[in-house]
Structures are given as structure tokens and as C-alpha cells.
Amino acid sequence: MKQELIYGLHTVEKFLKQAPHLVYQLTVIKGKLNQRQQDLVNQAKSLGVQATFEAKTAFNKVDGNHQGVMALVSPMPEMNESDLQTIMEKADQPLFLFLDEVTDPHNLGAILRTADAIGVDAVIIPKHKSVGMNATVRKVASGAADNVKLIVVSNLVRSIKTMQEAGMWMTGLAGETDQTIYDQNFTGSVGIVMGAEGSGLRQLTKETCDHLAAIPMVGVVESLNVSVATGVVLYEAFRQRKVAGSK
């Protein structure tokens, strides 16, 4: 069975809480443990998960702030396009987020964190030319990586069209339009489509969306980082849906 390494206190704590049956081994750095590290060891032992202690050199394989803890886990079952319809049908007002070839794991992790915060029903990414789930994504997402449904599809545009046929309206973020995100209706069954770092949405993806919208910019900066832009749009959608729900 495929295994992967996760690291960082918050990430390991969340995984151990949400899916202890998928944790093979917890490894903690040798020496005097802080309270959170000790709590993790105690939690692992109570769940029947092996806890080991290794020298600092054993953590050199980790590319990031490990905080003295890492775990070997089996990843959550991967979801694909066949799951989209089911997720949509189970949600009262489904909100999907499509990412068109986002390649930076820090961006994906930050996006998943925001998606979790506002209750996005699914985040959809293409199988190719896109970062997938890895330890860096999990670390940046701070536990959200295993709470948000991440759907890997073979063809993003085809998946967008499938959801449109099922009644979902798609708004793509692009700078070359006079319409802003504040002109859009994000209530109901909605898909928000974000482009890649630097290049933005591909032309075919733009043409497939029902609407294009921009984030208003008044400074000298021409665009925002994709994770920041996604946060701005998702919270506008969240605001509209909360207001609509209170009426």
C-alpha cells in the first residue's frame, strides 16, 4: 500500500485525530519533549500507533518546518470525476473550486486551508501539470488537507462542462473583464475557477466558463498571488451565501 510522510505538529495532530487507522508510525525527535510532542506520543500509544524516537539527523529528509514530529501514513482514498455528481447532489447549495494548473504546493495548501474555512464542497485539480497532495501541501494546509474533498480529474474543462450540464454556474477569475467579483451572484450551485500562477486561466478554460470576473485593483500591482486571490473570491462567495441564508 502506498505510504507518504507528513510532518509538523498541527498536521500530524489532525491526521491522527481524523484517520488514526491510516497512521503507521509516529516519529518524534529525541530529547526533552515539549507538551504538544508528548501529547502526540500519548495519543498515538492510546490508539495503538507505534511511536519511535530518532535523532535530529533522521529529520533531514523533511523539506520544511517539521517541529520535531513526522508520521508515516497511508493517504486518504483518492477521489476522481466520478465523485463530483454525488458530492453535488448531497450539498444544498454546492460550492466547487476548480484550479487550472496550480503548481506550487504552498499555494495549494493555502487554498485548501481557506476552502476548509468557508466550507467549499470540493476542490478540483487536473491530474497533469498540477501539484497534487504531498507533505508540503499538508503542512501549509494545517489539517485542512484531509477535511476538504480534493478531486483529481483527467480533464478539467470536461469536468467543468459536466457540472454545468448538472446545473452549476461557473465564474472564472480573469483580469481582462470589466466585471468584478462584486458583480457576480455566488449563491446557489456555483463553481469558481482559478488560473495558474503567472499565466492565469487557459484560453479554453476561459471560454468554457459562464462568466469572467476580476478582483478590483487600484495600486501598481497587476495581480495577486493565486492563493490570496482565491481567498478574496471565496470570502465574497461566503458573504453572499450567508446574507442570502439569513433572509
Nearest Cα to Cα of residue 173 among 131, 119, 228? 228
Together in a domain, 123 and 21: no
Together in a domain, 65 and 108: no
Q: Report how far apart, in Å, the C-alpha atoms of 58 and of each of 22, 40, 54, 61, 137 are.
A: 22, 18, 6, 7, 21
What does pLDDT average to in each consecutive run of 10 residues of the chain (247 residues)?
Answer: 79 83 89 90 89 87 81 80 92 95 93 95 94 84 82 96 96 92 96 91 96 92 90 97 81
**Domain termination residue (choose one: 56, 73, 90):** 73
Per the structure, how many domains does the chain have?
A: 2
**Domain termination residue (choose one: 51, 73, 95):** 73
Q: Cell numbers 485542512 correspond to what residue?
A: 144
| Bridge partners, residue 111, by sequence | none
Q: How far is residue 81's CA from residue 86's CA, in Å, rounded to a whole number?
A: 10
**Amino acid 15: pLDDT:** 83
Query: Where does residue 119 fall: left (phi above 0), alpha (psi -120 to 50 degrees), or beta otherwise?
Result: left
pTM of the model: 0.78
Together in a domain, 60 and 107: no
Nearest Cα to Cα of residue 213 among 243, 242, 185? 185
Together in a domain, 64 and 97: no
Together in a domain, 98 and 174: yes
Together in a domain, 242 and 163: yes
Task: Assign residue 22 the CATH number of its domain.
Answer: 3.30.1330.30
Together in a domain, 135 and 234: yes
Domain, as residue range, for 205:
81-246
Going by their DSSP bridges, the two strands 122-126 and 95-99 should be labelled as: parallel
Together in a domain, 49 and 162: no
Together in a domain, 123 and 211: yes
**Domain termination residue (choose one: 73, 97, 114):** 73
Together in a domain, 93 and 41: no
Together in a domain, 220 and 165: yes
Evaluate whether 106 touches 63 at the Cβ level (below 8 Å). no
Together in a domain, 110 and 176: yes
Give buried/exposed letters for 164-183 (b at 16+ CB in 10 A, else e): beeebbbbbbbeeeeeebee
Q: Report how far apart, in Å, the C-alpha atoms of 115 and of each of 97, 160, 169, 200 are.
A: 8, 18, 18, 19
Task: Assign residue 212 the CATH number of its domain.
Answer: 3.40.1280.10
